[in-house]
Amino acid sequence: MHDPGNIVMVGDIAHHTVGDLTGREDLRSLAVLNKFGPSGHGEAQVQYLDGDFRVISPGTYVRCAVTDERIPLDELKYWSVDLQEAYAVPIAVLKRHFPGALKAAD
């Protein structure tokens, strides 16, 4: 009878180990795409709503439209519904929506 081996998940790739695992140092692995699709470790696609947002495509972060820094979804506080973009910090909101105001304050 054929031993199906073990399946080990590494990110979005499943590694299927073939053969008897005991006493073998030359294990062979076959990389197989995860049949369940992306696991959401990358950039999320988000629809920004009034007071809330909806995750369209799974991920753990979005990028700030001004600074391009990663914003973890659980820390996302600032976004524009009209422009459908996120901001990392309040100063980024001001830079995007009132660029002249910051120069006048300096």
Q: By C-alpha distance, which of 44, 105, 103, 100 is closest to 72?
A: 44
Q: How many CB atoms lie within 10 A of CB 46?
A: 20
pLDDT at 77: 97
Name the one residue in this structure whose structure tokens are 């901001």: 87
pLDDT at 1: 46
pLDDT at 101: 82
Residue numbers of the chain with a pLDDT score lower than 50: 1-37
Mind giving me the DSSP string for 46-84? EEEETTEEEEEE--SEEEBTTT--EEEGGG--EEETTTT
Mean pLDDT of the chain: 74
Q: What is the pTM of this model?
A: 0.60
pLDDT at 51: 94
pLDDT at 41: 85
pLDDT at 100: 87
